[in-house]
Structure 1
Amino acid sequence: MRWIVWPLVGVLLLGLVVLSLQPGMDAVCVVQSVHDRLRHKHDGWSCVHYAAARGDMAALDASVEQTDTPIDARTESGATPLALAAERGQLAMVKQLLARGADINAADTRRRTPLYRAAAKGHPAVVRALIAGHATIDQPNESGQTPLWINAARSPTNNTEIAHSLVRAGAAIDRADTRGDTPLMAAARAGHSDVLAYLLNENADPARRNGQQATALLLAIRQGHTEAVRQLLARGADPNASVHATSPLAVAQRANRAKIVRLLRANGARE
């Protein structure tokens, strides 16, 4: 245990030294930043970033005043305080930062915006606040994945609240990423049946094919997502849309997906 205790003691002592020299500093930031540096985490974070991430407006104000850090200061990965607050679901902080003029579409080095981060982590209230602030709805990341796409792929709460907000704001239902995968395909691959059903109700195209010529149905079959297969077939997905001369039924049979095999046959699938 000593190898754990002594570094922690060192962190606390160093934090106390810094605070004695600058008593107005954010104590949580001082301790956390020293700890993170020892663990090589959160490179380039300032006290403004730590305060935004934990939703502490008073600490953020103090840090900005004492260090003259700009409201859109970036970490080494390019994240702004707004992006960190959005990713962690800090709604009050997000609203305050927007009111103070934070760049709502500031993208990091991987081109992820605050809206993308909030959608990826499943924070519907933050998503709505960013939409109300006129965030760019379909701004993609480096892989061409929009906020709707990443929510369909991850859907942390497996509900449609975020997808609904994005679509109502004008998100493109069938916008594909750099591999040709649409949000419907992302939901099918992940087995997120609620989001899948919502996208189908919003007329997402089940016949679309990605760069490997796979449909959403085939992606769901490969992953064994029976309910996703059921929903796609009910909305007109072609049970015979083969890929490289291999039928969906053959894929299901090879993977021993007995329930899916029965569903496909019931819907007219052929060998």
Structure 2
Amino acid sequence: MLIAAIVLTGCTEPSEPTVNLHRAVEIGDIDQVSRHIYWKSDLDEPDAGGDPPLHVAARAGRVAITRELARNGADIEAPNAAGRAPLDVALQNGRTQVAEMLIEQGAPLDAQVTLFELIEAGGIKRETLNFLLDAGAQLDKPSSSGEAPLHIAIRNGHLETVRQLILAGADVNQPAGDGRLPLRIARESAPGRDARFIVSTLERNGARAEPPP
């Protein structure tokens, strides 16, 4: 019986990993990731760029690997070098399936705050915008500075985000906290590659430069 137990143990114990954990996550090698988990690798150790394995999985859209890491003790709220949690990274990259799984595992989400942060940081993917709206974010709700998401996108010259917000139903004539309408903000913003296209996009969608008398 003892010999049988030894043989069984030898057959079921996985080999030690042969691929770096972050690389295994990046390429989607769940066998290597499982080996790292079995052999007690540090699941929160950042790579050279400051991203722990969960962040790598979130960025790459590795749903199954993200689930395995989270279930085996990886910190689902740990910040990377840029201060972003895995859920933030998933949403920034349009990985909504990963985001759903992380929320199921207990990751907190303030949909409105996340909407503001992603637009301020450089835009938002359509999948993420729809995800956040479904999670309770409001398109025309102003931030503490008085800017709605559309105002922020215009100020930062994010043409594609402006288009996405308008398609989702953002009010093109909602005044910002300083009273300026989106079209006026666009016309007064510093000129950039997409500035004139933002102006024309707003105009085509019924935006006014000044409120009606």
Out of 186, 189, 205, the position equivalent to 2:118 is 186
Cα distance in 2 for residues equivalent to 1:82 and 1:259 = 45
User: TM-score normalized by structure 1?
Assistant: 0.54
Out of 28, 31, 39, the position equivalent to 1:92 is 31
5+ residue gaps in structure 1?
Answer: 1-56, 64-79
Residues 110 and 238 of structure 1: is their aligned pair in 2 closer, same or farther, counting only changes over 3 Å?
A: farther
Q: Within the alignment, does 1:223 sit opposite 2:158 as a pair?
A: yes
Residue type at the aligned position of 1:86: V
Question: 1:221-266, CA deviations, whole angstroms, 9 ceiling, x for partnerless residues?
Answer: 33112123332628xx9932346x6542323445232233444639
* Superposition deviation, residue 205 in structure 1: 5.6
User: TM-score normalized by structure 2?
Assistant: 0.67
Out of 198, 201, 205, the position equivalent to 1:259 is 201
* Superposition deviation, residue 111 in structure 1: 4.1
* Superposition deviation, residue 85 in structure 1: 1.6
* Superposition deviation, residue 168 in structure 1: 2.2
Identity of aligned residues (%): 23
Cα distance in 1 for residues equivalent to 2:159 and 2:181 = 15
Q: Is the 8 A contact 2:58 2:86 kept in 1?
A: yes
Q: Is the 8 A contact 1:86 1:126 kept in 2?
A: yes
Out of 161, 171, 183, the position equivalent to 1:249 is 183
Q: Within the alignment, does 1:240 sit opposite 2:179 as a pair?
A: no
Q: Within the alignment, does 1:115 sit opposite 2:54 as a pair?
A: yes
* Superposition deviation, residue 114 in structure 1: 0.6
Residues 215 and 135 of structure 1: is their aligned pair in 2 closer, same or farther, counting only changes over 3 Å?
A: farther
* Map of 1:31 onto structure 2: none
Q: Cα RMSD (Å) of the superposition? A: 3.7
Residue type at the aligned position of 1:228: L
Question: 1:88-139, CA deviations, whole angstroms, 9 ceiling, x for partnerless residues?
Answer: 3222211221122122222346542110111122222222222222322121
Residue type at the aligned position of 1:97: H
Aligned residues: 185
Q: Within the alignment, does 1:174 sit opposite 2:114 as a pair?
A: no
Residues 238 and 261 of structure 1: is their aligned pair in 2 closer, same or farther, counting only changes over 3 Å?
A: closer
Cα distance in 2 for residues equivalent to 1:208 and 1:142 = 29
Cα distance in 1 for residues equivalent to 2:51 and 2:132 = 23
Q: Is the 8 A contact 1:148 1:183 kept in 2?
A: no
Residues 215 and 146 of structure 1: is their aligned pair in 2 closer, same or farther, counting only changes over 3 Å?
A: farther
Residue type at the aligned position of 1:121: A
Cα distance in 2 for residues equivalent to 1:141 and 1:238 = 38
Q: Within the alignment, does 1:151 sit opposite 2:83 as a pair?
A: no
Residue type at the aligned position of 1:260: L
Give the structure, 1 or 2, with the largest relative contact order (CA under 8 Å, sep 6 or more): 2
5+ residue gaps in structure 2?
Answer: 1-13, 189-194
Residue type at the aligned position of 2:137: A
1:182 match: secondary structure: helix
2:46 match: secondary structure: coil
* Map of 1:198 onto structure 2: 131
* Superposition deviation, residue 214 in structure 1: 5.2
Cα distance in 2 for residues equivalent to 1:140 and 1:252 = 34
* Map of 2:191 onto structure 1: none
Structure 1 segments, 4+ long, off by >6 Å, are none
